Amino acid sequence: MTYKVSLVSLGCPKNLVDAEVMLGHLPAERFQIVTDEAKADIIIVNTCSFIQDAKEESIQTILEVADYKQTGNCRLLAVTGCLPQRYRDELAAELPEVDLFMGTGDAPRIVELLDKALGDGERVEAVGLPDFLYDHATPRVKSSPHYSAYVKIAEGCANHCSYCVIPRLRGTLRSRAVPSVVEEVRRLVSQGVKEINLIAQDVTAFGAEREDGARLVDLLRELVAIEDLQWLRLLYAYPDGIDDELLDLIAGEEKICKYIDIPLQHIDDAILAHMNRRIDEQGTRALIERIRQRVPGVTLRTSFIVGFPGETREQFDKLLAYVREGHFERVGVFRYSREEGTPAAALPDQVPERTKKSRYSKLMKAQARVSFRRNRELVGRIEPVLIEGYSEETDLLLQGRSVRQAPDVDGMVYITDGQANVGDIVPLRITDSSEYDLIGEIVDAE
């Protein structure tokens, strides 16, 4: 019998890669992938539980798709990933609608587990150790656009920030071999992918635990040699892993996007110490200055947490002032989420939710003004832009992303003049901007 399978993936791009690997393990002669949950015999929800908002979104999505057991064709509902890895027992009691629970390391067993759940008609709870690491030989069904792909170069994390549950959900750092990553990227490029986004919990930690001496810079040098690769982007770089050798490589290699995502989390020394971050204000300021000097024209993205336990008004005002200084083109802001089992959850002086929301709003408004000013500085410049299709607002305008904009998290470029095919990278003159988006016209390649 052939089953129709629909998969909903929540959370970060790392979760998306996990979902693609799960789909890759489903043999085509037995499982047909569909996008309409109402028509699916099997629905899989790949969940996130990094913070409270992500947990709530996961639960809500599970409950919504569970309705297809009555209104659609669904015979089996599977919940996979971070949420069951963390809360298997609680979920089993609270979600009787779910037929199969799988953890973050159980993707290779998906056919075996689906067969067991379908055959026995009994609930299956298979949450093993989070020790799986895919490689170039692992089957994978790419679900992102044909011109762009995420490639996970490592799994797990060894940083142990005090607020973070990732080591519990994903295990400790496990880096892939350089030849494995190179082979996967080479295959993706041969299939038409032009933009590769390298992801991990911390890309700068790549190879740190391996005995073969692998380093991120060694991997990058191998990747830029792939002939038809055009954009290579680094996401999630821990501050103390960014050295001059890496910066000089980014500056000197045309294929490496002059774009670095550096989650800093805060600027106050006392807060950073309680977060168990390995950098202070002085180190942060020196790092940002060094990056700007060694990589001219670089776009910097960071993230900050507001409302961390003990954060005083003065400490928040210090962070707010730092953001207003305008160091970053892109900033993501998160309200601290008190996650059980983390050291930060036991800290005194937990900040009220109302205060977190107020601080979140103030920081976002401050960065919006900075982003607007940064975007205005680009007006008149010619930038390479990746064409992604017609605008969702109107089919009269093409839209795309500048080399300065990462997929899914940054703004868009709206194109008012000129034509190109989806997946093309074309020169575009910036004619206008908003806080997060750019507007421009395609120009002659000359």
pLDDT in tens, 334-368: 999 999 999 999 999 999 999 999 999 999 999 99
Among the ranges given (45-54, 128-137, 156-165), the one the predictor scored with the smallest mean pLDDT: 45-54
Question: What does the DSSP assignment read for 98-153?
Answer: --EEE-TT-GGGHHHHHHHHHHH-S-EEE---S-----TTS-----S-TTEEEEE-
Specify the pLDDT at position 214. 94
Global pTM reads: 0.93
Residue closest to 238 by CA, chosen among 166, 323, 296: 166
Q: Who's near 388: CB < 8 A, 6+ residues apart?
A: 145, 147, 399, 400, 401, 412, 422
What mean pLDDT is predicted for residues 185-198? 96
Residue 133 lies in a domain: no
Q: How far apart are CA 344 and CA 164, in angstroms?
A: 8
Residue 132 lies in a domain: no
Same domain (yes/no): 250, 386: no
Same domain (yes/no): 362, 389: no
Residue 138 lies in a domain: no
Find the distance separating the first CA and the last CA of the chain, reported in whole Å. Answer: 56
High-pLDDT (> 70) share of the chain, %: 100
> Is the distance from CB of 69 to CB of 99 less than 8 angstroms?
no
Note the pLDDT tens digit of each residue in 392-433. 877 778 999 999 999 989 999 999 988 899 999 999 999 999
Residue 142 lies in a domain: no
Note the pLDDT tens digit of each residue in 167-183. 988 999 999 999 999 99
Q: How far apart are CA 168 and CA 164, in angstroms?
A: 9
Q: Is 257 annotated as a binding residue?
A: no
Specify the pLDDT at position 54. 85
Q: How far apart are CA 193 and CA 147, in angstroms?
A: 4
Specify the pLDDT at position 445. 62
Same domain (yes/no): 411, 367: no
At residue 121, does pLDDT exceed 80? Answer: no
Among the ranges given (79-83, 161-165, 394-398), the one the predictor scored with the smallest mean pLDDT: 394-398
Specify the pLDDT at position 368. 96
Specify the pLDDT at position 427. 95
Specify the pLDDT at position 11. 85
Partners of 45 in the β-ladder: 8, 79
Q: How far apart are CA 86 and CA 68, in angstroms?
A: 26
Same domain (yes/no): 277, 197: yes
Same domain (yes/no): 118, 192: no
At residue 307, does pLDDT exceed 60? Answer: yes
pLDDT band for position 48 (50/70/90)? confident
Q: How far apart are CA 247 and CA 281, in angstroms?
A: 20
Note the pLDDT tens digit of each residue in 104-113. 889 999 999 9
Q: How far apart are CA 252 and CA 204, in angstroms?
A: 18
What mean pLDDT is predicted for residues 315-335? 97
Instruction: Kindly tell me the burial class for residue 380, based on how many C-beta atoms sit within 10 Å of its own C-beta (0-12, 13-18, 19 or more).
Output: exposed
Specify the pLDDT at position 434. 92
Same domain (yes/no): 155, 48: no
Residue 243 lies in a domain: yes
Q: How far apart are CA 183 and CA 168, in angstroms?
A: 30
Domain boundary among 376, 395, 429: 376
Domain CATH code at residue 410: 2.40.50.140
And the tokens for 402? 């500048």
Specify the pLDDT at position 349. 96
Q: How far apart are CA 288 and CA 279, in angstroms?
A: 12
At residue 446, does pLDDT exceed 60? Answer: no
The boundaries of the domain holding residue 393 are: 382-442
What mean pLDDT is predicted for residues 369-387? 95
What mean pLDDT is predicted for residues 256-268? 96
Same domain (yes/no): 186, 238: yes
- Across the beta sheet with 3-9, the strand order is 31-33, 3-9, 42-47, 76-81, 100-102, 124-126
Which amino acid appears at position 374 of this protein?
A: R
Specify the pLDDT at position 332. 95
Domain CATH code at residue 348: 3.80.30.20
Q: Who's near 249: CB < 8 A, 6+ residues apart?
A: 217, 220, 221, 256
What are the backbone angles phi and psi of residue 263, rounded to the nearest 5°? -65, 110
> Is the distance from CB of 19 to CB of 45 less than 8 angstroms?
no
pLDDT band for position 30 (50/70/90)? very high
Kindly give the interhelix angle for 244-252 and 281-294, rounded to the nearest 10 degrees.
30
Residue 143 lies in a domain: no
At residue 90, does pLDDT exceed 90? Answer: no
Same domain (yes/no): 72, 182: no
- Domains: count for the chain: 3
Specify the pLDDT at position 7. 94
Q: How far apart are CA 14 and CA 37, in angstroms?
A: 23
pLDDT band for position 318 (50/70/90)? very high
Q: Is 82 annotated as a binding residue?
A: yes
Same domain (yes/no): 339, 244: yes
Specify the pLDDT at position 428. 95
Helix (H) or strand (E) holding 330: strand 330-335
Q: How far apart are CA 125 and CA 111, in angstroms?
A: 14
Specify the pLDDT at position 129. 85
Q: State the chain's mean pLDDT as an integer.
A: 93
Partners of 31 in the β-ladder: 3
> Is the distance from CB of 311 to CB of 338 less than 8 angstroms?
no
Residue 161 lies in a domain: yes
Long-range CB contacts for residues 248-254, cutoff 8 Å, separation at least 24: 248/294, 249/217, 249/220, 249/221, 250/295, 250/298, 251/294, 251/295, 251/296, 253/220, 253/224
Domain boundary among 126, 158, 176: 126
Note the pLDDT tens digit of each residue in 287-301. 999 999 999 999 999
Domain CATH code at residue 72: 3.40.50.12160
Which amino acid appears at position 94 of this protein?
A: E
Residue 344 lies in a domain: yes
Domain boundary among 325, 351, 376: 376
CA 317 to chain centre: 28
Residue closest to 263 by CA, chosen among 249, 253, 277, 274: 277
Specify the pLDDT at position 88. 82
At residue 134, does pLDDT exceed 60? Answer: yes
What mean pLDDT is predicted for residues 316-344? 96
Helix (H) or strand (E) holding 367: helix 353-376
Same domain (yes/no): 430, 301: no
Same domain (yes/no): 423, 302: no
Specify the pLDDT at position 113. 94
Same domain (yes/no): 254, 358: yes
Beta-carbon neighbour count of residue 419 at 10 Å?
Answer: 10
Q: Who's near 193: CB < 8 A, 6+ residues apart?
A: 146, 147, 148, 149, 229
